[in-house]
Chain A
């Protein structure tokens, strides 16, 4: 086993993307993704049973595609990592079951890892080893969190999170009100480029001096934008879609970046990592860049393809688990839809480093 550059396959099925990545240390070898997003589009959101069915169909073909792309033999893997949670229970279960079966059949250690910690760790594939500590802002349709990590394999502390909607959810809902379809993030980003972000003063949630410093709220903003649009329509006026998109987006990214930079200053952290699907938003990237530079903070944002859910991020964290000799998971590993962010991985119940090795070694090809 390569101690510092483990070869790990990672499986991600927490939502609607069937992702399989293969990394060698911090080098990305393959990132295969099959998405069922188009099937969900007409429902306006991810339908869990449709996602689970699609995962089952895509799972093994996507694993095989990743192995072919990486040009590695499964026998050479140092471990298999899988998102154990949080996420949709039925969707997670497909990935966890596949990972266990591969790990067992190949005689490889299994690492059930945390989806959120994976979103942070993926940046290692782009910008090298994570500084310790790292401040992370995770923004997507499922999460909006500020996390402080001193060691991505063992120490992830939540500083704040959304108290209602996730940031990406707000994008989707406003897109729906504007009849722009699903998902809302990319189309709002595109329209906002041609709009005036200062045209309409939408509210900044939880920004008062007595509000929690690191928590977010996007529900009030969502309602305010919807009301503003409805009032225009009721008055028979045209809705200035580009200005609404730009002003709404500005309200979201203003709060996100302001709080993230403040957290860095308060905690004395000089690196900010932004991940999750909303990190693909061009205005979020630009404003974060601007504010971090002013505050002397180094900003790390992976390329958009690594920000959305994928298997590479799971492999990246799995590889770090192997490199740091963290205990493997056992064969009873279960999918945990509400796995706490403070658990970067799910070690086996025996907490015995060699347990899974021992069980699975017997099934190694001779």
Chain B
């Protein structure tokens, strides 16, 4: 599952191949769309959730409140079913899906005129930590490189060589995870959110708070 970007995406992988998947792009309805998508994917595969032996979740980076939907859903599945949760960087899923075998970058929309990004040596090898920056501030460092993801399309001046895919797919994330699991299970992240930004510490007017004892 991955809900760190506008895509709400779920896939079921049996260790050999993707059995079923669902992807919807709707940045405002992660909470409503995720569980029905899980249900659809399982139904399509003719399986029940308790057949699942592991949960893979994109941990971001992501600006959307939706990032938490995927993470808390994965944690709850893990707790209820007693199966492990494996975290993967959301950008790694996009990189893997691109299949590019030369140096490139991935950029997703971080809003506030910024992108989340990382550099890759090839589709399986991330060369930098994920960062959050203004496109103009990293354009020079990424000059001449293909850039995968919605961030590239949003800022064509900074990233002229935009490549597919535009959106995250859980199918790619699951395939990448299956590779890692088959190779011994190294290289996963803790299933914790990668925000890369401090929270806006603004108390809104008429904030809601129950005065605690």
Which A residues form the contact surface with B (CB < 8 A)?
14-17, 35, 37, 40, 43-50, 52-53, 55-56, 59-60, 63-64, 74, 86-90, 93-94, 96-98, 100-102, 104-106, 140-142, 165, 168-169, 171-172, 183-186, 276-278, 280, 304-305, 307-309, 331-335, 359, 362-366
Given A46-B203, A52-B65, A101-B35, does the pair A60, B75 have CB atoms closer than 8 Å? yes
User: A104, B209: Cβ atoms under 8 Å?
Assistant: no
Min CB–CB distance B17 → chain A (angstroms): 23
The residue in chain A whose Cβ has the minimal distance to the Cβ of B79 is: A60
Please tell me which one of the listed residues B75, B77, B203, B210 contacts residue A44 in the complex, with CB atoms under 8 A apart: B203
- Which residues of chain A are within 8 angstroms of B78 by Cβ–Cβ distance? 60
Q: 14 A-B pairs, CB-CB below 8 angstroms?
A: A47-B199, A47-B201, A50-B199, A59-B76, A93-B68, A93-B69, A94-B68, A94-B72, A97-B69, A101-B72, A168-B209, A277-B213, A334-B32, A362-B48
B80 contacts the other chain (CB 8 A) = yes
* Prevailing SS type, chain A contact patch: helix
User: A332, B73: Cβ atoms under 8 Å?
Assistant: no
Please tell me which one of the listed residues B42, B71, B207 contacts residue A46 in the complex, with CB atoms under 8 A apart: B207
User: A53, B193: Cβ atoms under 8 Å?
Assistant: yes
User: B81, A50: Cβ atoms under 8 Å?
Assistant: no
Q: How far is the CA of A102 from the CA of B76 in the complex (A)?
A: 6
8 Å CB interface, B192-207 against A? 193, 195, 199-204, 206-207
* Prevailing SS type, chain B contact patch: helix
Please tell me which one of the listed residues A45, A90, A140, A183 contacts residue B203 in the complex, with CB atoms under 8 A apart: A45
- Which residues of chain A are within 8 angstroms of B36 by Cβ–Cβ distance? 331-332
User: B210, A105: Cβ atoms under 8 Å?
Assistant: no
User: A59, B75: Cβ atoms under 8 Å?
Assistant: yes
Min CB–CB distance A281 → chain B (angstroms): 9
Query: Per-position contact with A for B38-81: 1 when CB-CB < 8 Å, else 0?
Result: 11001100001110000000000000010011011101111111
